[in-house]
Structure 1
Amino acid sequence: MKRIDVGNHGFQSVQELREKVGTPHEAVVKKNVGIVDDKARYFIAQSPMVMIATSNEKGQCDTSPRGDHLGFVHVANQKQLVIPERPGNRRVDTLCNIMENPHVGLLFLIPGMKEVLRVNGQATVIYGHEVLEKLELNGKVPPLGILVEVEECFIHCPRALKFSGIWEPQSWPSKDSLPSAAEIFKAHLAINSSVSSK
């Protein structure tokens, strides 16, 4: 495998980067607020999916999707929201990262809408609290939840989702041309088996 050698083609400082890309418009900076206002609350209420970005104490990053019914993320107030952690495969990568490093980044999506809502803050993994009852689904209260103390909230421009055509069925690849999740899963197990046997 031939690796890419960037040599002296990588930026060495933020100042050097800024000299290359310039500075953002004042409005782009000022759109960032420290609360979940009524408009953002409504956006979250219409979102069936949020991406959660975390990293561990070493800075190793992970992004995990969470999908559920519309408005499954509970906005408790302008500074706090709660994400249900329903039973899954028990890897709990996101939860383990939060235990080591509470900083999280959230990306809320609404099907068909090209803008996304970004929320950043600090998280705590909670259990047994009465707020989890508000996240009940089919008569079951999630055993765990992620409480996020909001530090930043802002709308993100539509450029990425617009250019990707992600909501346009005519741009989607044929499912027959794609490897299935099972095929990818088996291939990765084979890679690890090959490495561990050496």
Structure 2
Amino acid sequence: MEKVDFSKEAITSEEELRNFVGTPHELVKKKSISIVDDQAKRFISMSPLLFLATSDAEGNCDVSPRGDNPGSIVVLNDHQLVIPDRPGNRRVDSILNILTNPHVGLLFVVPGLEEVLRINGRATIIKNKDILSKMSLKGKAPSIGIGVDVEACFIHCTRALHKSKIWNPEKWPNKEEVPSMMEIFHAHLKINGVKIKE
């Protein structure tokens, strides 16, 4: 199929968008708060997985999954939290983005729950040893962390996870039918001209 020109028949204003989707209920508008309250702190403390959305100075976006032990995110106070940056593949896409554009979005997931907690704010790459020492894993503290000044915090409804049936093993695909990480990795290397030894 040829590339589609999405600019044709595109929605280009909020007014036009509202004609299609309507307006949110007043309670939905008011569910966002600017602090991390006690309920949100409890949710974060039970989350072993979050998704971190960033973009660079030009607006190029990235979303990165961050998995760790529940309780690994340190909530310093009602306005700030810190995410440890554990050693990885050294691409540091999120970190590089934050250096040029501090705006971030976080989505916290708790296994078995269909609700997710969303936090938006401004991030800073920190090297504060006193804070990072609280995030030690197997006796080793991360060398850097992502400090977030929270601007918005709210619970997101169950619709997406409920409809996806993500927690229902009966709906999971057969693993043999899903391309493996190495299959995708090698296919992408080949597209970029890297020769793979078979």
Q: State the TM-score bracket (shorter-chain normalisation).
A: over 0.9
CA distance in 1, matches of 2:71, 2:18: 38
State the 1:21 CA deviation.
1.2
Alignment match, 1:24: 24
CA distance in 2, matches of 1:131, 1:7: 47
Residue by residue over 1:2-28, the C-alpha shift from the partner in whole angstroms, topping out at 9 and shown as x without a partner, is: 112345421011111112211100000
Q: Does 1:71 align with 2:79?
A: no
Output the aligned Cα RMSD. Answer: 1.0
CA distance in 2, matches of 1:8, 1:22: 22
Between the two proteins, the alignment pairs up a number of residues equal to 194
CA distance in 2, matches of 1:158, 1:88: 31
Alignment match, 2:136: 136
TM-score (norm 1): 0.95
Residue by residue over 1:46-94, the C-alpha shift from the partner in whole angstroms, topping out at 9 and shown as x without a partner, is: 0000100000000000000000101111111010000000111100000
Unaligned 5+ segments in structure 2 are none
Alignment of 1:155-166 (within 5 A): 155-166=155-166
CA distance in 2, matches of 1:66, 1:160: 20
Amino acid at match of 2:72: F
Q: Does 1:99 align with 2:94?
A: no
Identity %: 56
Q: Per the alignment, in what secondary structure is the counterpart of residue 192 of structure 2?
A: helix
Alignment of 1:26-41 (within 5 A): 26-41=26-41
CA distance 1:3–1:128, shift in 2 (3 Å)? same
CA distance in 2, matches of 1:51, 1:58: 21
Residue by residue over 1:127-175, the C-alpha shift from the partner in whole angstroms, topping out at 9 and shown as x without a partner, is: 1431111111100000000000000000000000000000000000000
CA distance in 2, matches of 1:53, 1:107: 8
Amino acid at match of 1:190: K
Alignment of 1:109-128 (within 5 A): 109-128=109-128
CA distance in 1, matches of 2:127, 2:7: 48
CA distance in 1, matches of 2:98, 2:129: 18
